[in-house]
Amino acid sequence: MFNEFDDYDIQTLAVRAGYEQTPEQENSEAIFPTSSFRYESAAQAAARFSGEEQGNVYSRFTNPTVRSFENRLAAMEGAEACVGTASGMSAILSTFMALCQAGDHIVSSQSVFGTTKVLFSKYLMKFGVEITFVSQTDVSEWRAAIKENTKALFLETPSNPLTEVANLEELSKLAKENDCLLVVDNCFCTPILQRPLEQGADIVIHSATKFLDGQGRAVGGAVLGNAQLVGEEVRGFLRTCGPSMSPFNAWIFLKGLETLPIRMRAHCENALALATWLGNHPKVEQVFYPGLTSHPQYELAQKQQSAGGGLVSFRVKGGKEQAWTVIDNTRMLSITANLGDVKTIITHPATTTHGRVSQEDRDKAGITDNLLRVSVGLESVEDIKKDLARGLDLI
Ligand SMILES: *Cc1c(COP(=O)(O)O)cnc(C)c1O
């Protein structure tokens, strides 16, 4: 479908790909806030419902604005198919509900988003899908965990919040050798920094809520992959079970994609500067950022991502009290748990995003009480430093 854009750079795809202009000749993409679509005849209605004729039917599974978002993101990720979903979590749920059945086994990195762990270990398990959690970075643990009934390997890279980098090339090789799927949550990098399908992944998942929107306005998600797995099976789940993206939200994300390349560059530039500064601060024990040469997987990150990303985590000297002192002495930073916004956000993972994860699992994942995560926004990095320095100086 995107043959016309085959030769274009991702920066051009972000602005131009995937939109079908209406007869009104609008220059900015239109929104279609309609639940259903009209047919010219009873025969056409029947043909649309049976799938014999392509076209709009009902916005749970066919909406032109959602389709434009899906097609643009598909072009950017280099995917045959994309399905928009109501949230990032429903993108993960839809993928596994569509592709797994009772008796299947999933191997997941233990360093995935806290809510994803709850989804796997509480809800998917209830339906007879087995889960094993392994180290994000030790490929031999993944190899050892794979069983006869392993259907998929799941990870996000860099991980949240410790920015551990998983080796996509090795894990995709392992998945192929064992006839299972490699599913990658590409939320932190976006296709601007990393294109997992080109590195051997079978499915890419997004929380569009984060960098794709980029301005903290709407919740949404997406699943990308080939025409069969995603175009037929995941879309089939969505059509029947309904965690669909609304046209309004699709329009926000579609417009968000237009500025994604320049925003990601600016996020990365600010994040690298902030991480470097934190690394030299006397009250900071350790900094986690894949763009720093001190990161244990700096070389792997350099190879598989085009920059370090917008997330920086660090341990302050002390514990929860000292971490909270830094948060409570900020004046500008947003104290919230979202990420990927133009506004810089500060989070205490142990008591928020990972608060529902057991202490034992938190310890295993390195989510200590003195850890802070910063989603670096697009304000002046000097002002971001000033805001953090106030609390750090009090420790
Ligand atoms: C936020 C997030 C999700 C969940 O997305 P929602 O849109 O909040 O449902 C999944 N994975 C990662 C890495 C996230 O950061």
pLDDT tens digits, the chain, 395 residues: what are they?
444 666 899 999 999 999 999 999 999 999 999 999 999 999 999 999 998 999 999 999 999 999 999 999 999 999 999 999 999 999 999 999 999 999 999 999 999 988 899 999 999 999 999 999 999 999 999 999 999 999 999 999 999 899 999 999 999 999 999 999 999 999 999 999 999 999 999 999 999 999 999 999 999 999 999 999 999 999 999 999 999 999 999 999 999 999 999 999 999 999 999 999 999 999 999 999 999 999 999 999 999 999 999 999 999 999 999 999 999 999 999 999 899 999 999 999 999 988 877 888 788 778 999 999 999 999 999 999 999 999 999 99
Distance CA(382)–CA(379), nearest Å, equals 8
Task: Report which protein residue has its CA nearest ligand 1's atom 8.
Answer: 88
Task: Report which protein residue has its CA nearest ligand 1's atom 6.
Answer: 88
Distance CA(288)–CA(213), nearest Å, equals 25
Q: Is the CB of 221 under 6 A from ligand 1?
A: yes
CB atoms within 10 A of CB 196: 29
Atom of ligand 1 nearest to the CA of 160: 13
- For residue 283, report the distance from its CA to the centre of ligand 1, in Å: 30
* Paired tokens of 175: 């998945």
Q: Is the CB of 156 under 6 A from ligand 1?
A: yes
Q: Is the CB of 114 under 6 A from ligand 1?
A: no
- For residue 206, report the distance from its CA to the centre of ligand 1, in Å: 7
User: Does the fold of domain 260-392 match that of domain 3-258?
Assistant: no
What pTM, to 2 d.p., does this model score? 0.95
Q: Select from 3.40.640.10, 1.10.150.120, 1.10.3720.10, 3.90.1150.10 the CATH code of 3-258.
A: 3.40.640.10
Q: Is the CB of 283 under 6 A from ligand 1?
A: no
Q: Classify domain 260-392 at the CATH class level.
A: alpha beta
Q: Is the CB of 207 under 6 A from ligand 1?
A: yes
Distance CA(289)–CA(375), nearest Å, equals 11
- For residue 325, report the distance from its CA to the centre of ligand 1, in Å: 27
- The amino acid at residue 180 is C
The pairing of strands 150-156 and 221-225 is unpaired
* Paired tokens of 140: 């031999």
- For residue 207, report the distance from its CA to the centre of ligand 1, in Å: 5
CB atoms within 10 A of CB 234: 26
* Paired tokens of 106: 């999933």
Q: Is the CB of 112 under 6 A from ligand 1?
A: no
- For residue 353, report the distance from its CA to the centre of ligand 1, in Å: 10
Domain residues of the chain, as ranges?
3-258, 260-392
- For residue 56, report the distance from its CA to the centre of ligand 1, in Å: 29
In what helix (H) or strand (E) does residue 203 lie, and over which residues does it extend? strand 203-207
Whether the link from the prior residue into 161 is cis, omega within 30° of 0, is: yes
Q: Is the CB of 377 under 6 A from ligand 1?
A: no
